[in-house]
Structure 1
């Protein structure tokens, strides 16, 4: 009788472990830092050489480093077949814009005030705007894997700065 009871317990433990480890979505170690994206659209981007940010909340201000780089859009390429699982390609094509990301440690998911300054190659100010934005949680692996750092986006187009 002892052997039978032990066998039932072992089978139960194996089944319980199998149920815990299988079937659910896997989470990777990828993360998403807290920070702000600055997206300067064409043709405004052609005049911009650098950007700076001042981010303030709870009586403290932070001036994170940001570097703008050429942005691009995805251009679809042909597929290898017509089947639903056919392999398709894409290439990156410059779109005339510039984009950058500034990491901001401790960025909250509450309203912050951001001063964005965009300058030309001679250091002259092209755009200087103060805007309010509320960073939102990110989920780099999906909501089932936990929350990453909060982020917000500033877009510059036609001389105007918008959030979202």
Structure 2
């Protein structure tokens, strides 16, 4: 037997429980412990293959990394109902990641080497830096560490961590 009153009460309870004050819920997103690398659009055509080595706290990991086409997000705007969207657009960069067992705020030494598009050896580039801490979903949701680098013709450079602040808000309608 169906009890319509119980169904309505269950749906109402589910809706009310989802109406907590804004900013208190944290996304269930696991952080990837990796060194993320972006090869700039100007340098990407010269790079055929890359090898990354990362050392931190006495432990090193290295591997040939897969280069994938990079992209940028293009804002598609928001609807009057508050639904916002974006699309990815190729930007000429190449991206790769070296997965690590752990990532701490200790100094990290990363070396990038590889093969140029013409088959010659690329110059090895090394950078020592500290991974950056950020709170992309607010301090109540915990700290994320990032080890993000850019490779160009001049070498390796650390990218800035994303700013804290949480989710994008829809315009008032």
Q: Distance in 1 between matches of 2:108 and 2:49?
A: 22
Shift of the 123–158 alpha-carbon distance from structure 1 to 2, 3 Å rule, reads closer
Structure 2 residue 155 is the aligned partner of structure 1 residue 156: no
Q: Please, which runs of 5 or more residues in structure 2 have no aligned partner?
A: 1-18, 160-173
More helix by share: 1
8 A contact 2:50–2:114 mirrored in 1:
yes
CA RMSD of superposed structures (Å): 2.8
Q: Distance in 2 between matches of 1:60 and 1:79?
A: 46
Look up the match of 2:96: 100
Shift of 1:68: 1.5
Q: Which has the higher contact order (CA 8 A, sep 6+)?
A: 1
Q: Distance in 1 between matches of 2:64 and 2:31?
A: 17
How many residues align structurally? 140
Choose 1 or 2 for highest CA Rg: 1
Q: Please, which runs of 5 or more residues in structure 1 have no aligned partner?
A: 1-20
More strand by share: 2
8 A contact 2:45–2:117 mirrored in 1:
no
**Any residues of structure 2 matched to 1:70-149 within 5 Å, and which?**
70-77=69-76, 89-121=85-117, 124-139=120-135, 141-148=137-144
